[in-house]
Amino acid sequence: MSVGVAILGSTGSIGRSTLQVLARQRERFRVVALTGHSNADLLAEQEREWRPAFVGLVNGNGKGEAGRRKGTSCLVEAATHPDVKIVVNGIVGAAGLEATLAALRAGKRVALANKETLVMAGELVTAAAREGGGEIVPVDSEHSAVLQCVAGRRPTELARLILTASGGPFRTWGPERVSRATVAEALKHPTWTMGKKITVDSATLVNKALEVIEAHFLFALDYDHVDVVIHPQSIVHGFAEFVDGSVLAQMGFPTMELPILYALTYPDRVPDQGVRRFDPVAAGSLTFEAVQVDRFPAYVIGREAARVGGTAPARFNAANEVAVQLFLEEKIHFGRIAEVIERAVAEDTHSGGDANSLEDVLRADADARRLALEVACC
Ligand code: NAD
Ligand code: MG
C-alpha cells in the first residue's frame, strides 16, 4: 500500500522538485493533496498528471478552477486530509505556520522546507509534534545532512553542528557595491536554483540565520553549539561533531531531490536513480572560510534575535519577509534590508516577549511587519 503525500506549495521550487522525486517513486507514494498559491495553470497541469483527491488554490480567480478548494483554509484541509501520512510543506514564509501545526497535531509527518515556520514558533511547533504524535523531518539540505550524520546516535552524543553556507552572489563584493546591488544580481545564486525569497535570503545570509534557529529546534542544541562556515562549492551540506571530537559530514552535488527523498523515506534509504552520482574529482577543491560578519549585518541581527528568544525570531522573520518583498519590488535598496530588519526587531530585543501561544506569535509577526513598512517608508 503506497503512502499518501500532501504537497503544500506544489507550484513552487520545492513543490516541483518533490513531484520529480515522486515520479520515480510511484510504487511507494501517491499524491493525495496539492495546494498552490496563484499559479492556477501549473496547478491544473499537476492535477491532470497526479489525479489527487484534494486540490486547493489559495488565491484563485475562479477561471477554470471548478472543484478546487479556495482560500487559506485549504492549506489546513490538505495538511490534515485523512489519507495523508506525509505533508511536504514547501510554502514560503509565515503563511505555512498553521498548516504545519495542524498536520503535527493530526499525527502526520511534516517534511519541512518551510523553515520560517520553525523560526517563528519553534516552541509551539515542537510542542504540537509531541502532543499530536506527529514528527518534523527537515527538507532543508543542511538539516537533512545533519540528520543523516546523527541517525542512530543518542542526542547526548552530539556536541556541535556546523552548517555550510555558499556565501551567495556577494561573497567577494565590497560593502559599497553590495548595498546598491540590483534584484537581478541578488537573484543570481552561484550554486542553487530556488524561489526568489530564499535566493535573496542567501545573498543577505538571513537564510543561514533562519537555519541556525531551525537547527536549534530540530536538534535541541543551544546556539553556542550551532556554527556556520562559508563553503562556496556547496558540496558539503553540514557537519555533526560528537562528544569524542569525531566529525561526520554529508556531501553531494547540490540538489534538493536527495533531501526531499530522505525526508519521505526517513529513517530508511531507498534505491533512486534520479540524481547525479557523486564524483570527488568532478567536485574538485573544497574550501571553507569564516563568515565575515561585517559583510552580512542581517545575519548578525538574526543570531542576536535567536539568542534573545521568545518572539524575537518571529519579529526577525516577519521584518525580513517585508524587507525582501520591498527589495524585490525595487522599493528599497539591497543595503536597506538589514536596516529595516534591525529597526523592526529593536523594540523587542531586550524583553524577548512571550511566544507561548499562537496569538503571541501572530501579534509579534504583525507588529514587526507594520514597523518594517513604517521604517522603509512605503
Ligand atoms: P517558491 O517561491 O518557489 O515557492 C513557494 C510556493 O509556496 C509557491 O509556489 C506557492 O505555491 C506557495 N505560496 C506562496 N505564498 C503562499 C501563501 N501566502 N499561502 C499559501 N501558499 C503560498 O519557494 P521555494 O524556493 O520552493 O521555497 C519554499 C520554502 O522552502 C521556503 O521556506 C524556503 O526557505 C524553503 N527551502 C527552499 C529550498 C529550495 O531549494 N528552493 C531549499 C531549502 C529550503
Ligand atoms: Mg538550506
Per-residue confidence (pLDDT) for residue 356, from 0 to 100: 86
Verify whether ligand 1 is closer than 6 Å to residue 138 (CB atom): no
Strands 135-138 and 54-57: unpaired
Residue type for position 343 = R
Which amino acid residue places its CA nearest to atom 39 of ligand 1? 194
The neighbourhood of ligand 2, an ion, using CB within 5 A, equals 140-142
Q: How far apart are CA 5 and CA 238, in angstroms?
A: 27
Residue 161 β-bridge partners = 226, 240
Note whether 40 and 69 are within 8 A (CB). Answer: no
Q: How far is the centre of ligand 2, averaged over its atoms, from the C-alpha of 50 (Å)? A: 28
Note whether 289 and 229 are within 8 A (CB). Answer: yes
Per-residue confidence (pLDDT) for residue 68, from 0 to 100: 80
Which amino acid residue places its CA nearest to atom 2 of ligand 1? 195
Verify whether ligand 1 is closer than 6 Å to residue 198 (CB atom): yes
Q: Counting ligands in written order, which one lies closest to the CA of residue 58?
A: 1
Per-residue confidence (pLDDT) for residue 64, from 0 to 100: 57
- Cell, residue 16: 516541483
Q: How far is the centre of ligand 1, averaged over its atoms, from the C-alpha of 194 (Å)? A: 8
Verify whether ligand 1 is closer than 6 Å to residue 310 (CB atom): no
Per-residue confidence (pLDDT) for residue 60, from 0 to 100: 77
Which amino acid residue places its CA nearest to atom 35 of ligand 1? 113
Neighbours of 38 (CB within 10 A): 13
Note whether 198 and 127 are within 8 A (CB). Answer: no
Per-residue pLDDT of the chain (378 residues; tens, 9 = 90+): 899 999 999 999 999 999 999 999 999 999 999 999 999 999 999 999 999 999 999 997 666 566 688 899 999 999 999 999 999 999 999 999 999 999 999 999 999 999 999 999 999 999 999 999 999 999 999 999 999 999 999 999 999 999 999 999 999 999 899 999 999 999 998 888 999 999 999 999 999 999 999 999 999 999 999 999 999 999 999 999 999 999 999 999 999 999 999 999 999 999 999 999 999 999 999 999 999 999 999 999 999 999 999 999 999 999 999 999 999 999 999 999 999 999 999 876 445 688 889 999 999 999 999 999 999 986
H runs (alpha helix) in the chain: 13-23, 40-50, 73-79, 97-105, 116-132, 141-150, 175-179, 183-186, 196-204, 206-219, 257-265, 280-283, 297-308, 312-328, 336-346, 358-376
Verify whether ligand 1 is closer than 6 Å to residue 116 (CB atom): yes
- Cell, residue 39: 499559479
Per-residue confidence (pLDDT) for residue 347, from 0 to 100: 72
The atom of ligand 1 lying closest to the CA of 207 is 34
Q: How far apart are CA 340 and CA 360, in angstroms?
A: 22
